[in-house]
Amino acid sequence: MFADPDLARLLVALIVLLVAAHGVGRAFAALGQPAAVGEIVGGILLGRSALAAAVPAVQHWILPSAGSSAAALGAVYQLGLLLLMFAAGAEMRRLLQRDAVRPVGLIAVLGLAVPFAAGLGLVTVLGAGRFTGTAGNRTALTLVFGIAVAVTSIPVISRIMHDLGLLGTRFARIVLSVAVIEDIVVYVVLAVAVGLVETGGGHAFGLPAALSIHGVVQNSIYHSVAAIVFLGGALTVGGPAYKTLSRLLGSAIPGGSSVAFQLAWLLALSAAALAVGLVPLYGAFVAGIAVAVADDSLVLRDRNALSGISFGFFVPVYFALIGLKLDLIHHFDPAFFVFFLAFACAAKAASVYAGARLSRESRFFSASLAIAMNARGGPGIVLASTAYGVGIIDESFFVTLVMLSVVTSLLAGAWLERAAAALGGAGPVRRHESPPELVAEVG
């Protein structure tokens, strides 16, 4: 229970985090960069890399590392993550495309398999010991290392292309269609990696505990099957189930709030994911996909209404808290970061370029695809924060992965701004013209 001083700290912390996140985020957006990057920078300014180094007493009073205020901020952090994943899943409705099958297929296969394999090879050469977190699970670390090289961000790249008038082009359709496929695979693998840690470390919960799942092989098979079945349920019966339940139960919620029902749906599937041994963010992602599959005007309106509170409060605070955790003074290795940035970008760009060229795209078009799909944005940050939170990776690699997401998103934006006209863009779009779902999804 909060004492008055603790409540005061929490309220001040939330105000400061919101002001920093939105203030710096808007400044970045005005410069043509992803606002989520600015929200992270806002958190960095409040954390150990800036405010704590300059006036530690003030920083510790506003943002204590322990106590009831810190616990409440941790809950806001988790809710922000769930809402971000729900929005990413719900956005699948708009991004799934049926044209350009050949380039999408080739780029998706090569753009995932080659970077993932390159990541596995690199961690084998470097040795997993230097990156392993408190959980001490090298198998999970290896999976995270691979997907860190392979991941692409839907929200960041879609926002950049909208601002440049590219969303209606064939280029955008290819990029976003491939990104949809990649994000689904990435979150399945992440769910498996987290499951390996939680069951392998003696913290089994729900169905894995009831089935006495143990050992690397059993864990890997179980969590792979569970993640795929969970996703399959969303793609087949999730949409109809959501629409049916919303009609039957929506009126039972005070005020008939469909947004409240959508929140209940999100929390229910997050809890269901936990019950079968998967990470709750995967349940939130699948809940969003089910809403996307439902695909009607009422669902779209409700999703946009939910986006208002999500991206007005919870998600910016989530990104700011990510920045708050970054210690660029003591846990950032610039030399390794530059090496890993070059390696990850080269592996991803080369594989995407090869897939595009094999599908007979021009050199310029293929190069633009390769650069655009290097933006790791929100999915890269979710990967880093989740893997660090459960102890798969150490703090130094966590910082590296977040900075990788930030820098690659900035690089992709800079290139597309220069290449927009040649790719069929209509020129920069004024910020206030963005539709609600795109304004929201800047991560």
d(CA 188, CA 224) in angstroms, rounded, equals 7
Q: How many percent of the chain have pLDDT more than 90?
A: 25
Determine which of 56-60, 111-115, 304-308 has the lowest per-residue pLDDT on average. Answer: 304-308
Name the band, by pLDDT with cuts 50, 70 and 90, for residue 298: low
Q: Specify the 3-state DSSP secondary structure of 393.
A: strand
d(CA 122, CA 68) in angstroms, rounded, equals 41
Looking at the domain assignment, is residue 116 inside a domain? yes
CATH code, domain carrying 241: 1.20.1530.20
Q: Rounded to 5 degrees, what angle do the CA atoms 92, 97, 98 make?
A: 140
Task: Give the residue from 285, 413, 412, 372 showing the smallest Cα distance to 111.
Answer: 372
d(CA 77, CA 79) in angstroms, rounded, equals 6
Looking at the domain assignment, is residue 316 inside a domain? yes
d(CA 442, CA 440) in angstroms, rounded, equals 6
Determine which of 78-92, 165-179, 252-266, 283-297 has the lowest per-residue pLDDT on average. Answer: 252-266
Q: What is the pLDDT of residues 179-218, one digit of tens each?
A: 778 877 888 888 888 877 865 555 556 676 667 666 666 6
Per the model's pLDDT, the better-predicted residue between 24 and 238 turns out to be: 24
DSSP label of 430: P
| Spatial contact of 363 and 110, defined as CB atoms under 8 Å apart | no
Question: What type of residue is 116?
Answer: F
Looking at the domain assignment, is residue 7 inside a domain? no
Looking at the domain assignment, is residue 287 inside a domain? yes
d(CA 89, CA 82) in angstroms, rounded, equals 11
The pTM is what? 0.78
| Spatial contact of 430 and 178, defined as CB atoms under 8 Å apart | no
Which residues face 132 on adjacent strands?
Answer: 393
Q: What is the pLDDT of residues 43-88, one digit of tens each?
A: 999 988 888 888 888 888 888 878 888 889 989 988 988 888 887 7
| Spatial contact of 442 and 311, defined as CB atoms under 8 Å apart | yes
Name the band, by pLDDT with cuts 50, 70 and 90, for residue 432: very low
Residue 159 vs residues 140, 141, 193, 412: alpha-carbon distances, Å: 31, 31, 29, 12
Looking at the domain assignment, is residue 4 inside a domain? no
Looking at the domain assignment, is residue 2 inside a domain? no
Which residues face 393 on adjacent strands?
Answer: 132
Question: What type of residue is 345?
Answer: C
DSSP label of 311: I
The residue to which tokens 């999100």 are assigned: 266
Asked if residue 435 has pLDDT above 50, the reply is no
Mean pLDDT estimate for the chain? 80
| Spatial contact of 370 and 352, defined as CB atoms under 8 Å apart | yes
Neighbours of 301 (CB within 10 A): 13
Range of the domain at 370: 14-440
Q: What is the pLDDT of residues 208-248, one digit of tens each?
A: 666 766 666 666 677 778 888 888 888 788 888 888 887 77
How many independent structural domains does the chain possess? Answer: 1
Maximum mean pLDDT: which of 124-133, 222-231, 274-283, 350-359:
350-359
Looking at the domain assignment, is residue 9 inside a domain? no
